[in-house]
Amino acid sequence: MLSYLFQRLAGACLVILGVVSIVFLLIHLVPGDPVEVMLGESASAVDREALRVALGLDQSIAVQYLDYLGGLSQLDLGTSIHQRQPVIELLLERLPATGLLAMAALLVSVLLALPLGLVAAVRRNSGWDTSAMGFSLLGVSIPNFWLGPLLILLFSLWLGWFPVSGQGGIASVVLPALTLGTGLAAVLSRMVRSSMLEVLHEDYLRTARAKGMPPMRVILHHALRNALLPVITLLGLQLGALLAGAVITETVFSWPGIGLLTIESIQSRDYPVVQACVLLISVTYVVVNLLTDLAYAWIDPRIRLAGAA
């Protein structure tokens, strides 16, 4: 068990290092100079060079990369070039908003996916099945950058039920959560349906029915629990996509989270902040996948993590 965890953690560290290195190189190689963004095109060459030296941008990319890794080894994410504020403080300011949106979107996706997948599996080849899978196809096909403005037009501008943008109470999280959670719900509902269809005709379910167990208990207690393994796997993998989708959703709704901070930092060429945002998303993705593997042992006692090492 411990050896398996150590192997996974070592692999996770290599993945995170690779992501950080690629992002560092790309953000430094793309066109654009943060000094020009900060001072403007009318600034003199002397002022530009002085600011570049003050920010450490006069050094080679290799030196900047090694300095960044050295600071990262000491849990120092650096200082924002644009705002002159420690990056960790910026992340802590925006993290609660992104966490709230991600949890709300995850709740929306589960509340939609489980009933749709169960009904589609139990009522296979019926109108319920067709409707549920039609919703799934629609949810997968509609991108967040189109669904978000559509929900704003309908529920904010026409009906006036929810705020257009920003974070200002429970009502303000409804539309971003729907936008972000609908796509995930569509994918999960299909997985729930296919997993349920695989277990509905198993012998242990026939035995439970023969003992007179209520049909709803057979489905929820026996069938659903055994069908959840692939669903949890997909849920863990999709959480990374959920955080990536939050970048678009937060931009559409001006939601003050990590996603909007990433876009703002890219526009201003704020290298340390962009790297820290990507690092945070990468670490979250890796940790969630590790927790997904550990959840296997709790759901299905037959799985032994130590044997999988």
DSSP state string for 149-208: HHHIIIIIIIS--S-SSS--STHHHHHHHHHHHHHHHHHHHHHHHHHHHHHTT-HHHHHH
Contact 257, 92 (CB under 8 A): no
pLDDT at residue 305 above 50?
A: no
**Looking at residues 152-173, what average pLDDT do you find?**
84
| Residue found under tokens 């796997």 | 233
Least confident of 18-27, 101-110, 289-298: 289-298
Inter-residue long-range contacts of 7-14, CB under 8 Å, 24+ positions, other chains counted:
7/309, 8/290, 8/293, 9/290, 12/286, 12/287, 12/290
Taking the C-alpha atoms of residue 99 and residue 206, their distance in angstroms, rounded to an integer, is 42
- Tracing tokens 């670490």 back to the chain, one arrives at 283
Per-residue pLDDT band at 309 (split at 50, 70, 90): very low
The model's confidence at residue 266, banded by pLDDT at 50, 70 and 90, is confident
Name the β-bridge partners of 79: 86
Q: Are 153 and 140 in contact (CB under 8 A)?
A: no
Of all residues in the chain, what percent are helix, strand and coil, respectively (each to 5)?
A: 80, 0, 20
- Give the dihedral sign, CA 301/307/308/309: positive
More confident residue, 4 or 74: 74
pLDDT digits (tens, 9 = 90+) for 5-35: 677 777 777 888 888 888 888 777 776 666 6
Alpha-carbon distance of 236 to 214, in angstroms, equals 32
How high is the pLDDT of residue 32?
66
- What distance in Å separates the CA atoms of residue 155 and residue 160, rounded to the nearest whole number? 6
> Cα separations (Å) of 124 from 31, 66, 219, 283?
54, 58, 14, 40
Non-local (6+) Cβ contacts of 175 within 8 A are 148, 151, 152, 155, 156, 162, 253
H-helix or E-strand spanning residue 262: helix 258-267
Determine the Cα–Cα distance for residues 212 and 95; give it in Å rounded to an integer: 50
Percent of the chain with pLDDT over 70: 81
pLDDT averaged over every residue in the chain:
78
| Whether the Cβ atoms of residue 155 and residue 162 lie closer than 8 Å to each other | yes
At 133, the pLDDT band (50, 70, 90 cuts) reads confident
Domains present along the chain, CATH in parentheses: 93-308 (1.10.3720.10)
Asked if pLDDT for residue 4 goes beyond 70, the answer is no
119 Cβ contact list (under 8 Å, min separation 6)? 128, 129, 132
Mean of pLDDT values over 58-75:
80
Confidence of residue 245 (pLDDT cuts 50, 70, 90): low
Transcribe 37-79 into DSSP letters: HHH-TTS-HHHHHHHHHHHTTTS-HHHHHHHHHHHHHTT---B
Place of tokens 């904010």: 156
